[in-house]
Structure 1
Amino acid sequence: MKKRVLIITYYWPPSGGSGVQRWLKFAKYLPEAGWEPVIFTPENPDFDLKDVSLEKEISKDLEVMKFPIWEPYQLLDKIRGKKESHPGRVLEQKEHGFIEKAAIWLRANLMVPDPRVFWVKPSVKFLTELIEKGQFQAIITTGPPHSMHLIGRDLKRKTGVFWLADFRDPWSQWEFLDKLPMQNLVRDKHKKLEQEVLSEADVVTTISPTFQEDLKQLSTRKIDLLTNGFDPADMPDGFAIGEKKAGSLHLVYTGIIDSIRNPMPLLKAMKEEFLKEMGAVKFTFVGRVSDQVRREIAADSWLSAHVHFAGYVSHQEVFEFYAKADALALILTNTKNAKGNIPGKLFEYMATTLPVLALGDPAGDSAKILKESEAGEVFSHSDHVAIQVSLRKLYERSGKPEAATAIDQYSRRNLSIQLANLLDEDPLS
C-alpha cells in the first residue's frame, strides 16, 4: 500500500509558471516511487498568470482538495477601480498614487509573511482532523508564498506529522522584500517565522546550491538540494531541432520579463553587432514583458524592427517557438539573489538541445549547470564585448546542435525518486 503525502501549494493549474510545474511534476511521478500525493490548494486563488493547458497534466487518479481562500487583492481592485493589483505589477509602476502607496505599505507591514496569511488558520483547522485520523504519513509545504510553511508549522505542532518544507526562493533574504517599505520590527518577524520553519521541519529542501548554503548558514542544519528539472514527456511527438545555416540568428526567450530581469544589455549588444549586417537577425519574447522594456524597444527603430512579442502562450505552445529558434536567451536576475537563480525553464532549454545565451552571474549556479552540461554560457549584464562575441558565434554557427551532457539527472522522474527518498527518512513512515 502506497504511503500518502499531502502537498500544500498555493500555485496549481490553471495557474501558470515554474512554481506550478515543480509540484505538478512531482505529483505526476511520486506514485512510481511509492508515495501517493494529495494536493491541497486554494479553491478561488488570485493568480497573476494562467495556463489552462496544464490542467490536462493532472492525473485522473490524483486527489486535489480545494479549500476557500480570502485574499486582499480583490478588495484593492475594487478600491482602485482596476484589475491586476498584484504587488509585482504595482511595484513595477513608475508612479504610485496614494492608494497604491498605502496598499504597498499595508502589504509590507501588516501581511506577514504575505497576503495569503489569511489562509493559514482555516486550513490548519480543516487539515488537523484529517491528519489525526491517519490519512497522511507526511506533508509538504512549498513557498513562496511562505504562508504555506506556517500551515506546515502549525500542523507539525498539533499532530507531529512528518513535514518537508520546500523553499523555491529565499525568505528573509529574498530580494523582493527589499523593494517593500518594511519596518525593522516587521523584518525581524519574518526572520523569527523563518527560523521556526527551518528548525521545526523534518526536512528542508531548496532549488539551488547557493540557496542551500544560505539556508544552512541561517539554520545550522542540513538542507537538501532538490533542483527543478524537465519532463521528456512534454516534448511533442516529432519535436526536433533542424539544421541551421550560417549567417542568420533567431533568439527566443520564454517567460516573464519584469523589474528584476533586464534583457536590454543583450538587445543593445545584438543591435551593435548586427547594425550594418544584411543577414536575418530576430529576437522573440514569448511571455509577459514589462511595460518599461516594451517602451525602450518601441523607442528604438532598429530594435522595433527586429524584436517581436508573441505574448503569453500555453506551455504546450512554447515548443512551437523552440522549434523555430536558433538559440535560446535566458535573462537571469541582476540582484542579490542572482547567484542562486536557477529558473525552471533552464532545464527545458537544455532538453531542446539548442544553445543557451544567458545574462546573469557568470559564477552563479545556472552558469555552473550550463558549463557542466556544455549547453551554453552566462555573461555578466555589463560584459558587452563578450555578449557580442557570443552572438557572432551563434550567428555563424551551422548544422544541428549537440545534446547537453548528463542531463538525465534533471529529469522529473529522477528528481521525484530523490524526493521520495527524503520522505522515506521518516522512521515512522
Structure 2
Amino acid sequence: MKKVLIITYYWPPSGGSGVQRWLKFTKYLPDFGWKPFVYTPENPSFEVKDYSLEKDISPEIEVIKLPIWEPYKFIQRFKGKGSQQSDIVKSSNKGLLSKIMLWLRGNLFIPDPRCFWIKPSVKRLSTILASKGIDTIITTGPPHSIHLIGLKLKQKLNVKWIADFRDPWTTWVLYESFYLTGVVRRIHRKMEKEVLTHADSVLAASWHYAKELSELGGGRDVEVITNGFDDDEFNASAEINPKEFVIRHVGVVDELRDPTPFLNVVKSLIVEEDYNINVEFVGNVNQALRSYIASDMILNERVLLKPYVSHDQVFEIYRSSAALLLVPFKNMPGNIPGKLFEYLASGRPILAIGPKDSDSSLIIEQAKAGLICEPDNAEAMKEAIRHLYLEFKAGQKHDFKGIQKFSRRKLTEKLANILNNL
C-alpha cells in the first residue's frame, strides 16, 4: 500500500467542518490503496472541541504530533466573557486594543501565528519521511503556514506535494482585517505564489476559489474537491417526521454570516399573516445577533439559540427540521459551508440567503434541493418561506438529484486518482 503524510493543524478533538475534510479523507483512503499518516500539533489552540469525531480516526492511521508554540493564549486575557477568539477579527466595532492586536498579529506573525511551528516541523519530518519511506505529502490550510512546511520539504527532499486550500490566502475576506503594511502584503503574495508554483498539485474546496488560485499561480491547473457528507453517518441515523414547522441553522453565526434579513421576514410573516414559524440557531452565535433577538419581543419568543452540539448529535437536528437555513459568507461566492452537504444528505429543503451566482447556490439549484434568495429581497424570502410552509403542511417529501458525487467516499476516490497521477 502506498503511503501519504497529511500535515494539518486541525484534527480531533478539534470540531468544525475544517477538521472533518481530512478526517474523512483519511477514513476512506485505505480503500483506494493509500495508507495515510497524519502530522498535527500536540497542543493546538482552537475554540470548539468535539470528542465524538475521534471515533472516525481509522485504526490504520498513524498520528504523529509535535508541540506548537503560538501566541493565542495571550489573547484569552483580553477577550470578553462569552466572546469567541475569531470575534476579535470579525467584529466591525473594534476598539483600539483590538486594532493593535490585529496589527501585531498581521505584521509580526507572517503568514499567521502558527509560523513558529514551521522550522521544527521541517526538521522532525525530514527524519520521519525517510524512516517510514514516505515520499508524498499533503498540506491543508488555513492556517497557510502549514503550506510553508510543505514548500520547505519539497525544496529539501523533493517529495511529491499536494497543497489543499480549504479557503483562499490573499483573497480571503478576512485578509484585510489585519492592517497589513505594504511590505508584509508583498511577503504574503510571494509566499502564496511560491506555494502555488512549487506544489505538484493544488486543490481547492470550490470552483470560485480554484479560479482565483489558478490566476494567482500563473494559470496553473487547480483541481476542485469540495467537502461532502458521509453515507455511514446518515445510514446510522433514524428518519424523523417533524411535527412543527421549525427552520434551523446549524453552525457559526458571525458578522460575515448575517441572518437578520431572514429574521425580519419571519417576524413579518408571524405578525402580518399569522404564520406559526419557529427558528433555531444551533452552534456558536455572536453577541450582535444575540442582542438583536433579545431586543425584539416577537423574535425573542420565536427564535431559540442552542449551543454547539457534537457531530454525532447533529443528524437528529437535521432530520427533525422542516427546513434548513444556509447563510454563506458575504462577498465570498466561493464559500461553500461544510454543512451544506450534510443538509443535502438529510433530505430537508434548504433556504439559502445569499447571491444566486455563488457556488453554494449552484449546488442547491442543480440538486433541486431548495430555494435561494438575495438578502435584500424581502418579498422573495417571504414567498420562499410560504412555499416551504405549505410543502411542510402537505407532508411533501424531497428527492434531491445527483448528490452522491458529494459523498466522502466518492470525493476520496477523486483524491486517490490525483495521488496516483503525481
TM-score range relative to shorter protein: over 0.9
- Cα gap change, 1:252 to 1:71, in 2 (>3 Å): same
Decide which of 184, 187, 190 is 1:189's aligned counterpart.
187
- Cα gap change, 1:173 to 1:82, in 2 (>3 Å): same
Tell me the residue number matched to 1:15: 14
Q: Shift of residue 281 of structure 1?
A: 0.9
Q: Are 1:102 and 2:100 counterparts?
A: yes
Contact 2:9–2:40, Cα closer than 8 Å, also in 1: yes
Partner amino acid, structure 2, of 1:291: Q
Partner amino acid, structure 2, of 1:360: G
Structure-to-structure mapping, 1:405-420, within 5 angstroms? 405-420=401-416
Structure-to-structure mapping, 1:54-93, within 5 angstroms? 54-78=53-77, 80=78, 88-93=86-91
Partner amino acid, structure 1, of 2:159: V
Contact 2:319–2:348, Cα closer than 8 Å, also in 1: no
Partner amino acid, structure 1, of 2:42: E
Q: Shift of residue 95 of structure 1?
A: 5.1
Let me know the Cα RMSD of the aligned residues.
1.8
Contact 1:379–1:387, Cα closer than 8 Å, also in 2: yes
Q: Shift of residue 82 of structure 1?
A: 6.5
Tell me the residue number matched to 2:168: 170
Contact 1:107–1:114, Cα closer than 8 Å, also in 2: yes
CA distance in 2, matches of 1:289, 1:46: 19
Q: Shift of residue 62 of structure 1?
A: 1.6
CA distance in 1, matches of 2:131, 2:66: 19
- Cα gap change, 1:128 to 1:97, in 2 (>3 Å): same
The DSSP-based 3-state class of the residue aligned with 2:245 is strand
Can you list the C-alpha shifts for 1:52-108, whole angstroms capped at 9, x where unaligned? 111111122321111100010113335x38688975221345655554332211101
Decide which of 316, 320, 325 is 1:320's aligned counterpart.
316
Contact 1:6–1:138, Cα closer than 8 Å, also in 2: yes
Tell me the residue number matched to 1:294: 290
Q: Shift of residue 280 of structure 1?
A: 2.5
- Cα gap change, 1:134 to 1:404, in 2 (>3 Å): same
- Cα gap change, 1:12 to 1:238, in 2 (>3 Å): closer
Q: Are 1:303 and 2:309 counterparts?
A: no
Decide which of 343, 348, 365 is 1:354's aligned counterpart.
348
Can you list the C-alpha shifts for 1:248-275, whole angstroms capped at 9, x where unaligned? 6210100000120000011111111221
Contact 2:79–2:85, Cα closer than 8 Å, also in 1: no
- Cα gap change, 1:243 to 1:106, in 2 (>3 Å): closer
CA distance in 2, matches of 1:100, 1:84: 16
Contact 1:241–1:352, Cα closer than 8 Å, also in 2: no
Can you list the C-alpha shifts for 1:264-305, whole angstroms capped at 9, x where unaligned? 011111111221344421000010011001101111111111
Contact 1:73–1:86, Cα closer than 8 Å, also in 2: no
- Cα gap change, 1:296 to 1:379, in 2 (>3 Å): same
Q: Shift of residue 392 of structure 1?
A: 0.5
CA distance in 2, matches of 1:77, 1:382: 37
TM-score normalised to structure 2 length: 0.95
Q: Shift of residue 242 of structure 1?
A: 2.1
CA distance in 2, matches of 1:76, 1:264: 29
Tell me the residue number matched to 2:143: 145
Structure-to-structure mapping, 1:209-224, within 5 angstroms? 209-219=207-217, 220-224=219-223
The DSSP-based 3-state class of the residue aligned with 2:351 is strand
Decide which of 351, 373, 383 is 2:377's aligned counterpart.
383
Contact 2:246–2:321, Cα closer than 8 Å, also in 1: yes
Moved more, 124-133 or 258-267: 124-133
Contact 1:131–1:159, Cα closer than 8 Å, also in 2: no
CA distance in 2, matches of 1:199, 1:223: 11
Q: Structure 2: give runs of 5+ residues left out of the alignment.
A: none
- Cα gap change, 1:284 to 1:66, in 2 (>3 Å): same
CA distance in 2, matches of 1:272, 1:259: 23
Contact 1:253–1:328, Cα closer than 8 Å, also in 2: yes
Contact 2:47–2:85, Cα closer than 8 Å, also in 1: no
Tell me the residue number matched to 2:253: 257
- Cα gap change, 1:423 to 1:85, in 2 (>3 Å): farther
The DSSP-based 3-state class of the residue aligned with 2:352 is strand
Partner amino acid, structure 2, of 1:421: N
Q: Shift of residue 425 of structure 1?
A: 1.1
The DSSP-based 3-state class of the residue aligned with 1:66 is strand
Tell me the residue number matched to 1:268: 264
Q: Shift of residue 164 of structure 1?
A: 0.2
CA distance in 2, matches of 1:313, 1:35: 32
The DSSP-based 3-state class of the residue aligned with 1:288 is coil
Contact 1:284–1:309, Cα closer than 8 Å, also in 2: yes
Q: Are 1:4 and 2:3 counterparts?
A: yes
CA distance in 2, matches of 1:238, 1:143: 31
Query: Identity of aligned pairs, percent?
Result: 44
Contact 1:153–1:197, Cα closer than 8 Å, also in 2: yes
TM-score normalised to structure 1 length: 0.94
Partner amino acid, structure 2, of 1:67: L
Q: How many residues align?
A: 419
Can you list the C-alpha shifts for 1:305-339, whole angstroms capped at 9, x where unaligned? 1100111111111122122210000011112xx21
CA distance in 1, matches of 2:282, 2:21: 20
CA distance in 2, matches of 1:297, 1:124: 48
Q: Structure 1: give runs of 5+ residues left out of the alignment.
A: none
